[in-house]
């Protein structure tokens, strides 16, 4: 049993720590904090943009964009303003169901488990292949049930989906299958994050033209959905009867252009980042002037420098391109990362942090603009989506 008061008194005593390193078995040295209140804030703000009766379905695919699918799913299950959740693969839908998620689950198209699981777990599968529709009809027949599907339309993204010119006949045929229920029709915009709207309008016109053509054949599909986070804020005419709500759920903007477009319409609109990534110092040392730091000798200190070693590296999802570029926050002070980020470790310069101790908490990603997902994306030449989704799913997630 560790005497925590003794640990606190001896944090700066290097000789003391080898005997208490067993603490790592009880406390994670790096973890993700998920803010329940920030999630609620973001849901409320985006929910206010849609008309009553339009279904509101957050996207929690790919481990909830790195935030933790089961943790986020449990919060959505209890939120009265949320009508369901969207995931990318059947296996994710199964995991949600088996962990108590009882609302609508839309699987956005990756078939990584048997199609019978779609029916057994009451999942709604987005389909883009006639053979899959036929198979679902046969499976549902054997199970004395009906498979609920959404038809995916490729209106210009050139990704998954039926082309509009082939979708009409496919839907007509599927509409008459006894064990398949078409409850949705969907498409996805190619550049709704941009401030240029001509291609969005082209895609939307193609989508609506198909829906109107089906109506003339007395085929009415209850749920029409094209809207992602960016379109939700910028294109009210695209809301349909269901909106899919992705990156904004996590308090991140799809792009600067989209942020400007939304803020021009609604100056009081705001998002709060949901995720904080934290770690702790595991060693402190003072380097003499001229010392090199890390692999490949990419950083050399010019004067006596106090550094801290952190138990986080690119295995955990800390991008190696942050070497000698990134920043962290410790004791409310912004400090630089120095040297190469390694697989499991990285170093920071804490010379300017008074009283710094072993086991001090360090913020790797947070709300501050210097350590935000957007800032890190800028350093590494990517987008905020990638920064959060690439955090290793084995890193502990905690709802706070």
**β-bridge pairing 242-245 and 292-293:** unpaired
Q: Which of 268, 231, 259 lies closest to 374, judged by CA?
A: 259
Q: Which of 258, 260, 261 lies closest to 246, judged by CA?
A: 258
Residue 4 buriedness (CB in 10 A; 0-12 / 13-18 / 19+): exposed
d(CA 132, CA 150): 12
Catalytic residue among 46, 61, 152, 385: 61
| 295 a catalytic residue | yes
Dihedral of CA 25/293/308/289: which sign? positive
Angle at CA 47, nearest 5°, toward 43 and 48?
125
| 46 a catalytic residue | no
Both structure tokens of 80: 């009265």
Both structure tokens of 95: 């995991």
d(CA 144, CA 97): 20
Conformational region of residue 294, where left means phi above 0, alpha means psi within -120 to 50, and beta covers everything else:
left
Catalytic residue among 4, 8, 265, 295: 295
Contact 6/13 with Cβ under 8 angstroms?
no
Q: Which of 103, 210, 197, 232 lies closest to 161, judged by CA?
A: 210
Q: Where are the beta strands (DSSP E) in 37-98?
A: 55-58, 84-89
d(CA 349, CA 54): 51
Contact 372/365 with Cβ under 8 angstroms?
yes
Q: Which of 161, 68, 122, 168 lies closest to 398, judged by CA?
A: 68
Catalytic residues: 61, 295
């Amino acid at each position: 049993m560790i005497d925590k008061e003794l640990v606190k008194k001896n944090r700066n005593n290097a000789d003391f720590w080898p005997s208490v390193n067993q603490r790592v078995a009880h406390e994670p040295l790096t973890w993700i904090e998920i803010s329940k209140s920030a999630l609620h804030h973001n849901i409320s703000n985006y929910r206010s943009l849609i008309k009553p009766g339009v279904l509101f379905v957050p996207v929690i695919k790919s481990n909830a964009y790195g935030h933790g699918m089961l943790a986020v799913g449990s919060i959505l299950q209890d939120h009265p303003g949320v009508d369901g959740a969207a995931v990318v693969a059947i296996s994710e839908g199964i995991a949600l169901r088996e962990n108590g998620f009882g609302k609508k689950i839309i699987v956005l198209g990756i078939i990584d488990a048997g199609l019978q699981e779609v029916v057994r777990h009451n999942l709604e599968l987005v389909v883009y292949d006639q053979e899959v529709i036929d198979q679902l009809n046969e499976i549902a027949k054997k199970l004395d049930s009906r498979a609920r599907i959404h038809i995916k339309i490729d209106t210009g993204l050139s990704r998954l989906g039926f082309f509009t010119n082939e979708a009409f006949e496919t839907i007509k045929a599927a509409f008459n299958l006894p064990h398949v229920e078409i409850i949705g029709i969907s498409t996805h915009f190619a550049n709704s994050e941009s401030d240029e709207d001509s291609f969005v309008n082209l895609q939307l016109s193609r989508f609506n033209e198909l829906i109107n053509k089906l109506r003339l054949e007395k085929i009415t599909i209850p749920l029409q959905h094209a809207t992602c986070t960016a379109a939700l804020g910028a294109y009210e005419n695209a809301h349909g009867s269901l909106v899919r709500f992705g990156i904004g759920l996590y308090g991140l903007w799809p792009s600067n252009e989209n942020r400007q477009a939304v803020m021009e319409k609604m100056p009081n609109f705001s998002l709060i980042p949901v995720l904080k990534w934290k770690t702790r110092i595991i060693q402190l040392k003072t380097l003499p002037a001229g010392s090199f730091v890390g692999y490949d000798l990419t950083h050399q200190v010019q004067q006596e420098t106090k550094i801290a070693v952190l138990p986080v590296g690119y295995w955990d999802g800390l991008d190696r391109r942050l070497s000698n570029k990134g920043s962290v926050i410790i004791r409310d002070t912004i400090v630089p990362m120095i040297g190469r980020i390694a697989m499991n470790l990285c170093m920071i310069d804490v010379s300017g942090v008074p009283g710094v101790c072993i086991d001090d908490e360090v913020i790797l990603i947070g709300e501050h603009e210097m350590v935000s997902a957007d800032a890190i994306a800028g350093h590494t030449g990517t987008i905020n989506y990638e920064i959060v989704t690439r955090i290793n799913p084995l890193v502990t997630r905690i709802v706070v």
